[in-house]
A and B are shown apart, each in its own frame.
Chain A
Amino acid sequence: MTLLAVRGLTKRYGGRVACTDVSFEVYPGEVLGIVGESGSGKSTVLQCIYLETMADNGSITLDGEELTTVDAMRRRWLRSFRMGMVHQDAARGLDLGVSAGGNIAERLLAADWRHAGRIRARGTELLSRVEVAADRVDDLASAYSGGMRQRLQLAKAMANEPPLLLLDEPTSSLDVHVQAAILDLVKELHAQTGVAMVVVSHDLGVIRLLAQRTLVMYRGRVVESGITEQVLEDPQDAYTQLLVASSL
C-alpha cells in the first residue's frame, strides 16, 4: 500500500517554475531522499505536501486522501496527526517565544489534550527521545542552540506519532559534529518508530546515510530516481553524474 503518492506536481512563482511534473511514491516506513542543487525545487515539493503552499497542478494523496483540495480545518488536522515537518529554518517550524514544552504542547493541544501536567510529561518524554535533557523542557525555544532546535522540531513533529515526517535540510545549518549527532538520531528514530520520511538535502552524504530510495532534482524536474546505492554508484543522468563526481 502506498502511503504518499505525488503525481504531476507543478508549482510556479510568477513566471518562474519552482517544480514541474514531479511524481513519486513513498511506502509506509520508507525513507525517500530528494537531492539536488540549490534552487532545484526540493523545498517547494515538501511545502506542497505539507500544504504550506498550494500546488498549481497535480495531485498529492496521503493514505488515499487528496490533499490539494482540503479546507483549512482539515489541513490543520492533517498537519497534527498525519504528517510532521522539520523546517530548514528552525524559526519557521518553532515558536521561539514559547517554551520547548509549549512548542510540543501546541500539537498535543490540537489533539485535545487538556491536562497541563500530562502535556508537560509527554513533552519531556519526547525531548528525552531526541536526547534533550528533561530540565530544559520549560526553557524558551529561543534559548536553544541550533542543534537543540532541530531536535525540538523533531520532537514536535513526532508529538502525535504521524506516519510521515518531512525533513527539509535537517542538518545543513549545523556544524559538522552536531550534524552527525542529528543524523544518528534521525536514523535511530526511524529504526524505533518505523515512521516514513522524505528527507531533502543537497548533501549526498546525508542521503547516502538515511535514504533507501532517492530522487535527483534539477531545475524543478526529477531527472533520476532509484535505489540510493544504484543512483550514487551508477548514475545514468548527466547531471547526476556531475553531482556524484563533484561530491567525491
Chain B
Amino acid sequence: MSRLGELAGDATGYSFAFLDEHTKRELRRRTLKAVALPGYQVAFGSREMPLARGWGTGGIQLTLSLVGPADVVKVIDQGDDASMNAVNIRALVTKTTGVRTTRDAGEATLIQTRHRIPDSPVRPGAIVVLQVPFPEPLRLVEPSDAVTRRMHAERDYSKMWLYLYEDIVRYGRISLSYRYPCMVNGTVLMDPTPIPRHDVAKLHQNPTLYLFGAGREQRVYALPPYTDVVPLDFEDHPFQTERAGAPCARCGSDTSYRTEVPGQGWLCSDTAYCDARLGVS
C-alpha cells in the first residue's frame, strides 16, 4: 500500500460518525427546533464534508448527527441503493460508524434518500432524511431571501398562487412536476424536494418523521409524524400524481412509482421494493 493509502486508511483521530460531538449536538438542537416548527426552515452552520456540495452534504450531516451504534442504515438515490451517490454516502457512514446497512426499508431505522420516498412501508419509529437542493419554495417567484422571509412571516403566499394560476392560463394545467409546493399544517409553505408527486401525496398525515437537510443553503426543516401536508391546487385543477403507462414490466406492481426506461418499458424506480416483490435481494 502506498504511503498516501496508509494515511487515508488511518481512521484514528476521527470521531464516531465523522462529526465531532459538539457539532452533532448543535445539529440535533437545530433539528429539534425544526421538529417543533413543522415546515419552518431553521438555519444551521453547515460543515465542510468529504463530499461535494450538491451531493447530499445537508442530508449526510443530519444522518451523521443522528446515527448511533445500534442503527441500521439505508441509503438510496432516485430509488436505487446501488447508484454511485448512494454507495459513496453509505461508505462514509459505515466507515466512520461501523453500523449495519440494509436495502430493506422495513428494517432500516435511519434512511437517507434523494428524490424518492421508499415504496415499501418504512419501519415504525424510523427517521427518513431527505437531501434538499433548494429549501426555499418561494424562490420560484421571489429572488430575494429578505423578501421570502417576510412572505413566510406574513403567510403571504399570493405570488405562489398567482404562479400556479398563470401556469394554468398558459398550459391549461399546473405544469410543476417536482418541488411541488405544499402547505404544512395550514401555516407554512414548504418545498418537499424533487420527489415525484407520487411521493408528495404520501407525506400528508404520514406516521414517519421526515427531516430535510440543505447543505449549501444551510437549512434544516422537518415533518413530524401525522403532519398535514397539502399541495397547493385549484378546485378545477386538483393536485394529481403521475400516471405510469403500464404496470412494472419486471414485478408487475401497479401501485409503485414507475419510470419508463428505453427498451425496457415501465419499471419500479424503487429497486429494493421491486426486488423484494420478486424475492431477490
Q: Which of B231-266 contact A (CB under 8 A)?
A: 234-237
> Does B158 contact A106, Cβ atoms closer than 8 Å?
yes
> Does B158 contact A109, Cβ atoms closer than 8 Å?
yes
> Does B162 contact A73, Cβ atoms closer than 8 Å?
no
Q: Which of A116-163 contact B (CB under 8 A)?
A: 116-120, 138
With A and B bound together, what is the CA distance between A138 and B161 in angstroms? 16
**A-contact 0/1 string along B13-51, CB 8 Å cutoff:** 000000000000000000000000000000000000000
> Does B234 contact A98, Cβ atoms closer than 8 Å?
no
Stretch binding the partner chain, chosen from B116-124, B164-172, B194-202: B164-172
> Does B154 contact A76, Cβ atoms closer than 8 Å?
yes
B155 at interface (Cβ–Cβ under 8 A)? yes
B156 at interface (Cβ–Cβ under 8 A)? yes
Interface residues on A, range: 20 to 34
Residues A105 and B162 in contact in the complex (CB < 8 Å), given A72-B154, A73-B155, A76-B156: yes
> Does A114 contact B169, Cβ atoms closer than 8 Å?
no
Question: For chain B, what secondary structure do more than half of its interface residues adopt (helix, strand, loop), or is it mixed?
Answer: helix
Q: Who on chain A is nearest to B174 by CB? A: A116
Residues A109 and B236 in contact in the complex (CB < 8 Å), given A73-B155, A116-B168, A138-B169: no
> Does B236 contact A105, Cβ atoms closer than 8 Å?
no
Cβ contacts under 8 Å, A106 to chain B: 158, 162
A110 at interface (Cβ–Cβ under 8 A)? yes
Give A residues with C-beta under 8 Å from B. Answer: 72-73, 76, 95, 98-99, 101-102, 105-106, 109-110, 114-120, 138
Q: Can you give 26 A-B contacts (C-beta < 8 A)?
A: A72-B150, A72-B156, A73-B155, A76-B154, A95-B162, A98-B166, A101-B169, A102-B165, A102-B166, A105-B162, A105-B165, A106-B158, A109-B161, A114-B234, A114-B235, A115-B235, A115-B236, A116-B165, A116-B168, A116-B169, A116-B234, A116-B237, A117-B236, A118-B236, A119-B165, A138-B170
Give B residues with C-beta under 8 Å from A. Answer: 150, 153-156, 158, 161-162, 165-166, 168-170, 234-237
Given A72-B154, A76-B154, A115-B234, 15 more pairs with CB closer than 8 A: A72-B150, A73-B154, A76-B156, A102-B162, A105-B162, A105-B165, A106-B158, A106-B162, A109-B161, A110-B158, A115-B235, A115-B236, A116-B165, A116-B236, A117-B236
